[in-house]
Structure 1
Amino acid sequence: MIRDLAALMDAVGWPSAHVVAHSWSAKVAALWATRQPQRFRSLVLIDPFFIDRIPVWLTPTFPLLYRVLPFLKMMGPFDSYQQAEQQARQLKQYRGWSELQQSVFQIPSPPTISGCPNSDTSMDGNEILKRYQMGERRFPKVNLQEADLTNICLNHADFSHSDLRQSRCGKSDFSHATFNAADLSEAIFWGTNLMQADLQHAQLREADLSGANLQQANLEQANLSKASLCGANLSHAQLSHALLFETDFRASTDQQTNLSHAQLTGADLSYANLSEALLCHANLDAAKLCRAKLQQRNPQIPWVTDLTQASLRYADLSYADLTGAILRNADLTGADLTGTILTNADLTGAILPDGTLHCPSQ
């Protein structure tokens, strides 16, 4: 069950979630939380089944219960959905799907885009470039998986809802382009110009955006989990409520990652690496930075994690590492600093979680 739920979360791009579990599943969820706490934003247990250790008297008979109790028969594992459904149909409690359940869980139809002759069409980079040079700008719902779009100019192009997984787009110009709800997982945008691009709700899991220019780009609610943004320019970018779980923002060999003035309100940066990143004036209110790395990683390079005048109101910085970071005049009102490492951090003029002003003598 744990593997199934973890796989489901990975499939939909959720690095963590609020989990509600009942009865036997509550016991399983509790075990899961101890093994993979990073998966949980919160956990609600309802009437858990022996939340502590199972009584000794029950242990010898427990395997027999799997053959008798219906809810245990459905615990699996099953080789396929069809096998699980076949097992469920043999139980007297089986009632099938009600009309209400079918209406709630039915698979929605994909959104239709009017005036789109290329809907669900597979194309390659050469054809895209040819059509672009002829004046075409709209390429929504196009299949460009593994396409080569390297070192070309496609600014102001519209790739909404398109599939660009594992595509190669390095050194290209996509400024002002639209990738709304597009799938760019594992795509390569190394050194690409994406200034003022619209990437709302886009899937960028494990994408390589190292050295990319994302200045003023809109990445609101985008999924950038495990993506690489080393040395990228994200100044004034919109990243509110984006998923940035385990995302790499470290400085490159010759350039600091720039997140100055970026909007990261409510973003999930758990386990992200922001070492030596520039975050001055960034808005991280209510952001989740649990166990994130914001320390000075390499004293030999000229950069340091800079959060000067950043807003971190009610942010979760629990167990984050801010060794040597600069937080001058930062606002930490209501922030969670449980287990946070602040060794040699500069908090001069910062507003602390309790609302008091930090002074160097403190």
Structure 2
Amino acid sequence: MDADELLKRYCAGERNFPQVSLHLVNLSEVCLAGINLNLANLANATLSQSNLRGANLIEANLTAAVLWRTNFSGANMILANLKAANLIRATLRKVDLHKASLAKADLRLADLHDADLSNANLAGADLRYANLTGAFLAGANLNGANLTGAKLSNTDLSHASLAKAILYKTDLSYVDFTEVDLTRVDLQHCLLHGVTLPERSLIEAG
């Protein structure tokens, strides 16, 4: 299926496109709110500035997709593959990204407020100045992630791994650090209001 056919069918009221192959398609600046793209192949696709609010993208393949300023608010992206995707300034508020792969994704300035990123793979992701306020990051893999200037206040990081992550001027106020791996992490330039770090973590972070 190409972009024109998808848009024609969507405009006619169709919403279900499970397992559709849209590899390399250009769907920039279009409205696809509420669309069902469960298990769809969108690898290397371009959906910049498009509206996918409330979309079903469970287990969708979005590897290396261009998703600059794309709006995914309230979407279901459980187990989605977003490795190396361009998500700069994307809106991912209240998105379910449980067990999703965002390894090496570019999430600079992305809005992930209240998103569910539990057990997600964010290893090596660029999260500079991203808004993760209130996000659920329990069990997430943030090894080597760049969190410079990111907002993580009131997040749940319990059992997450931040080994070798870059945290500079990161807002970690009121974060749950239960059983967090902070190996080789420097927290001295972070905001830590209302935080109690386990002694073991303090030793590892030094």
Q: TM-score range by the shorter chain?
A: over 0.9
What are the equivalent positions in structure 2 for 1:31-42 lying under 5 Å apart? none
Residue of structure 1 aligned with 2:20, choices 139, 157, 174: 157
Q: Is the 8 A contact 1:312 1:331 kept in 2?
A: yes
Q: Is the 8 A contact 2:184 2:205 kept in 1?
A: no
User: What is the aligned partner in structure 2 of residue 201 from structure 1?
Assistant: 64
Q: Distance in 1 between matches of 2:153 and 2:43?
A: 33
| 1:315 to 2:165 alignment | yes
TM-score, normalising length: structure 2:
0.93
Q: 1:150 to 1:320 in 2, by over 3 A?
A: farther
Higher helix share goes to which structure? 1
User: What is the aligned partner in structure 2 of residue 332 from structure 1?
Assistant: 182
Q: 1:150 to 1:273 in 2, by over 3 A?
A: farther
Shift of 1:295: 0.8
Shift of 1:351: 2.3
What are the equivalent positions in structure 2 for 1:345-356 lying under 5 Å apart? 345-348=195-198, 351-352=201-202, 354-355=203-204
Shift of 1:338: 4.0
Q: Pick the structure with greater CA Rg.
A: 1
| 1:211 to 2:74 alignment | yes
**Secondary structure of 1:351 counterpart:** helix
**Secondary structure of 1:315 counterpart:** coil
Q: 1:181 to 1:229 in 2, by over 3 A?
A: same
The share of aligned pairs that are identical, in percent, is 34
Higher relative contact order (Cα pairs below 8 Å, separated by 6+ residues):
2
Q: Deviations over 1:150-177 (max 9, x none)?
A: 7600010010000000121111110000
Q: Is the 8 A contact 1:170 1:190 kept in 2?
A: yes
Residue of structure 1 aligned with 2:7, choices 101, 125, 141: 125
Q: Is the 8 A contact 1:172 1:192 kept in 2?
A: yes
Runs ≥4 residues deviating over 4 A? 121-124, 147-151
Q: 1:189 to 1:150 in 2, by over 3 A?
A: farther
Gaps of 5+ in 1: 1-115, 130-146, 252-256, 297-304, 358-362
- Give the letter aligned to residue 102 of structure 2: L
Gaps of 5+ in 2: none
- Give the letter aligned to residue 265 of structure 1: A
* Number of residue pairs the alignment of both structures matches: 206
Q: 1:322 to 1:356 in 2, by over 3 A?
A: closer
Q: Distance in 1 between matches of 2:118 and 2:167?
A: 19
